[in-house]
Amino acid sequence: MNSIKKLHICKNLTELEGKTAIPDVSDKKIPMLLETARKIIDVAEKKYNEGDQEAAYICYMRYFNLLNSIHKKPDYQQYKSQIRLTLGDNHVNKLTMDRLEDITKSLEERYTHLEMNGNLASTIEGTQTLTQLNLPSRSRSVSPIKNGKLLRAVTCRQLYEFMQVQSVLVMDCRPSEDYRESNLNYSLSFNVPAEIIRAGMSAGKLQDQLGQESKKLWSARSVKERVVLMDWNSSSTELKEDSPIGILLDILQLWDPDAVYRSPIGILDGGYEYFVMMYPTCCTNPTIVGPQSNSTIIEYGLVEDIEYPSVNDIQLKDDIIAQNQSNSSLSNHITLTSNRPAVDRSSKLAAVKLYNEKQQVITDIAKEQEILLEKAKENDQQYEQIAEQFNDIYNKKEFTNADQQIVYKLMQAESAAEDYKNENQRLKAELDLYKRREEEEKANPPLELAKDVEKIAAKIEERERVDEQLTKERLQLAEKLAVATKNKRRPLYNDLRPHGEDTDLEKNNENIKKLSFKPSPPQFDRSIKPQHYISNNYAEERVRDFSPVSGKVSRGLTGLKNLGNTCYMNSIIQCLSNTPQLAEYCLTDRYKKYVSRTNKTKGQIVDEVAALIKMLWTGNYKCVASRDLKYVIGQYQRMFRGLEQQDSHEFLTILMDWLHSDLQTLTPEHLREPMTASDKAWLEFTKAKESLILHLFYGQIKSIVKCAECGNESATYECFSNLSLELPENTCNLTECLDMYFSGERIFGWNCPSCEHKRDALHVTTKHAIKKLNIAKLPSVLVIHLKRFYADTDSPNPSYKKKLNYLRFPLENLDMSQYITISEKKRSTPKQYRLYAVSNHYGFMESGHYTAFCKSDALDHWYKFDDQMVTPLDSSKVVSSAAYILFYTRLPPLRTLG
């Protein structure tokens, strides 16, 4: 037990109080303040445990001062749940305050004695302990209390952070066989086997049954700052007292007299099953599958999960389409709904309430309109300036890099103008619906409210006239833009460097030879590759040319040069670079332990992606070039060799397969028995070899075919790295697209193996089957592709065209629970996702430009990645009609990347 340290900071409590002030945080966001508060409280506990009362007092006081500032924030209410999760509830803070009061009393006595005696240190310091000073025991730290036991819920993210600084001792009380097959890749973790934990045991008896190495770690339980218990899937809120982890907690808290713990014993929320899903690189075998209870096996069966007992339980796509056609697609955004309860107009109170409701509706529309008009006007001005610049360069024979940037800006301004036009139409639809309902109710609104409605309507009409005129101008300019992008090309030398950078002609000529390909031999002809690319030490021997432009930036905010229509690749790479778990895997070189050199690409793709991500995260360059990655990719896929524009979705899909193949070296050692059909299909897809890419990006679809006559249901399974969703004709929500994708479809010409009736078009009413999709395995990172490009076969000259739909998608809390199978619902893993990246496409099929919008977890802010240019982005601009690929994650942020 640590003794009390000498007074070394101040001479009295008033002087010490002066050191507890915090700076002005009025301009700081709550998430950043929460992270600061968490760090302060950790330091406070550390100083307290070291016996440094003065330093602990300062930290605890600063913590409460900061907490008070957070409570005064205007957006405090929307962050309440996050505050509770990060810092604990009121009860936790009360315990912290009790500790602070005890420290304050002790310091008052010590300062008084110091003043009277001049040297109280010789009589107290080094002799009295925390217990002798009547301070709370270390085992009474900040913790909730359940059934008389002190508990502390530890999230997977917190455990990960504790592991990074080795401040936690982890007791894994899963069965020894499970522990051997997969455990934490952490030196201070050991197994207390579930099979040896018995109720009524003392800590000493339990220690006697441990192995020699485990005994050494067991003895450190009162030395480490924290002790965390873990099993497969328990949590502090659902802890069964008769379970091994519940019994172990009881032993440590009540029957362990030889140990005084520095902080309350923690319980890992979600257990190892949750941790291995979130941090697979920190586990020895991330392919482990948790045990399945017998009740689940009996209830749902293991041969096939019957998802729909009745065919009538399946919502059909035809019904959804019919419903969408009969209802306005904007109805989801109307505040006044058709099923509002009837109002008793004889009641004055009810009439006042009705007026207030209507006034709120009009107020909300007016506020939205004000913001919209301001943004639209700003975009109009930018568009006019860019249009003038474009007209100046239109007649040039060749476009320089700077000229091409003007073309790209023009495309983006046009896209934004179309979005604002759609938003104005949405407001008009809301107002029209409001007016119709007023007419139906034969209401006579107050004069003030009627004037507000007229004012909004007048502004909508005025903006419509502006949009109409601007649309005509944009169409004329669009024709010139199409001609320009088709017939004019930038000089290749400029493609190989950012605008304004000095050109090394000889060096660029060499790069031109690399990037310009003549008809080449077959794909596997080794003669087309330099010799050093074949070496097993490829990653170490390869000398790369990033052509970096020096300049200090925040880590992860380095741009990528456009090498000649490579914006499609730049957009995807930036989205992957901002996938924290993948970035960390590359930055720490952990991936190198799992590279396969025997597959088709010999690990070269992941080596180049990792090398490029490292450059993007140094913080030393404004932009770099991806020549080496592009060159290596071109060796394995001819379409990416030249300088033609390519599809970012196609590039992403192929890249994901390559990265998975390059890292497909993990062998799943534990397979659930008996295996489900889903497990068998997954094993067949992986060929018993898995990878981090598989664990992050790949999920599994269950395709169900159900006979409409006999109800027989059969299922097949297919893995996916992204979902491709159809877009309807009008403005819509992402959930509408998901509903369509996962709805049922009538199919014909299918032979039912049960009733042996062929389902064909002759018996549409009953003699048919229904096909339905569900997600059997949710991926950690959900990638959604919006099918904007389609083949127009009705025109005289069939070609691909683009849908410019404005799709609304959530930045937070995308709930996938209604689209998953019964067995997936039984898993304890999260079903909600947050958006962290978007790949955008501007323009049309023949000519376009890609950018990326990415949220930096390290900086907690959105940024726009437009080739070599990286700029801050307001979150309100993330949703646009340019959105092409959406990246959602259910994993917690990794702030350590910053």
- In tens, the pLDDT along 644-678 reads 889 999 999 999 999 999 999 988 765 666 678 88
What's the one-letter identity of residue 360?
Q
pLDDT (0 to 100) of residue 535: 45
Top mean-pLDDT range of 102-106, 345-349, 833-837: 833-837
pLDDT (0 to 100) of residue 872: 95
pLDDT (0 to 100) of residue 882: 94
Start-to-end CA span in the chain (Å): 36
Check whether 548 has a pLDDT greater than 90.
yes
- Between strands 723-726 and 789-792, the pairing is unpaired
pLDDT (0 to 100) of residue 566: 92
Render pLDDT for 459-512 as a digit per residue (tens, 0 to 9). 999 999 988 888 888 777 877 777 776 665 544 433 333 333 333 333 433 443
Check whether 44 has a pLDDT greater than 60.
yes
Check whether 766 has a pLDDT greater than 60.
no
Q: What is the arithmetic mean of pLDDT over 868-889?
A: 94
pLDDT (0 to 100) of residue 73: 85
Render pLDDT for 694-715 as a digit per residue (tens, 0 to 9). 999 999 999 998 888 777 888 8
Place of tokens 């996916």: 720
Of 729, 730, 727, the residue nearest 429 (C-alpha): 730
Percent of the chain with pLDDT over 90: 31
pLDDT (0 to 100) of residue 732: 83
- Which of 649, 695, 785, 849 is the catalytic position? 849
* Top-confidence residue, 778 or 338: 778
pLDDT (0 to 100) of residue 521: 32
Total-model pTM:
0.66
* Top-confidence residue, 126 or 354: 354
Which positions ≥6 away from 722 have C-beta within 8 Å? Answer: 649, 652, 653, 656, 697, 783, 784, 785, 885
* Top-confidence residue, 828 or 346: 828
Tokens of 386: 């860019």
- Between strands 745-747 and 769-777, the pairing is antiparallel
* Top-confidence residue, 18 or 549: 549
Residue 586, φ and ψ in degrees, nearest 5: -80, -45
pLDDT (0 to 100) of residue 121: 41
* Top-confidence residue, 670 or 621: 621
pLDDT (0 to 100) of residue 192: 96
Place of tokens 């104005």: 424
Q: What is the arithmetic mean of pLDDT over 381-398?
A: 85
Q: What is the arithmetic mean of pLDDT over 619-638?
A: 93
Is residue 849 part of the annotated active site? The answer reads yes
* Residue 317 banded pLDDT, cuts 50, 70, 90: confident
pLDDT (0 to 100) of residue 500: 35
Of 665, 772, 637, the residue nearest 311 (C-alpha): 772
Q: Spell out the alpha helix ranges (H) of 601-643.
A: 604-616, 627-636
* Residue 193 banded pLDDT, cuts 50, 70, 90: very high
* Residue 21 banded pLDDT, cuts 50, 70, 90: confident
Check whether 757 has a pLDDT greater than 60.
no
Largest CA distance in the chain: 105
* Top-confidence residue, 227 or 394: 227
DSSP string computed for 791-810: EE-SSSS-EEEE----EE--
Check whether 266 has a pLDDT greater than 60.
yes
Check whether 297 has a pLDDT greater than 70.
no
- Which of 173, 567, 575, 737 is the catalytic position? 567
Render pLDDT for 836-865 as a digit per residue (tens, 0 to 9). 999 999 987 667 899 999 999 888 899 999
pLDDT (0 to 100) of residue 897: 63
Render pLDDT for 150-169 as a digit per residue (tens, 0 to 9). 457 788 888 988 998 899 99
DSSP string computed for 741-798: HTSBEEE-SEE-TTT--EE-GGGTTTS-EEEEEEEEE--SEEEEEEE-EEEE-SSSS-
Check whether 747 has a pLDDT greater than 50.
yes
pLDDT (0 to 100) of residue 30: 86
pLDDT (0 to 100) of residue 89: 67
Task: Note whether 571 and 840 are within 8 A (CB).
Answer: yes
Is residue 586 part of the annotated active site? The answer reads no
What's the one-letter identity of residue 330?
L
Check whether 12 has a pLDDT greater than 50.
yes
* Residue 293 banded pLDDT, cuts 50, 70, 90: very low
Of 633, 493, 618, the residue nearest 552 (C-alpha): 618
Task: Note whether 702 and 717 are within 8 A (CB).
Answer: yes
Q: Which letter, b or e, does each residue of 54-86 get, where b requires 16 or more Cβ atoms within 10 Å of its Cβ? A: bbbbbbbbbbbbbbebbeebeeeeebeeebebb
Averaged confidence pLDDT in the chain: 79
pLDDT (0 to 100) of residue 509: 38
Q: How far is CA 245 from the centre of its chain?
A: 31
Quote the CA–CA distance of 498 and 564 in Å, as a whole number. Answer: 11
Residue 853, φ and ψ in degrees, nearest 5: -105, 120
* Residue 446 banded pLDDT, cuts 50, 70, 90: confident
Task: Note whether 20 and 67 are within 8 A (CB).
Answer: no
Check whether 320 has a pLDDT greater than 50.
yes
Specify the range with the lowest mean pLDDT, choosing from 275-284, 466-475, 485-494, 809-818.
Answer: 485-494
Render pLDDT for 48-92 as a digit per residue (tens, 0 to 9). 888 889 989 999 898 888 888 888 888 887 777 678 767 876 667
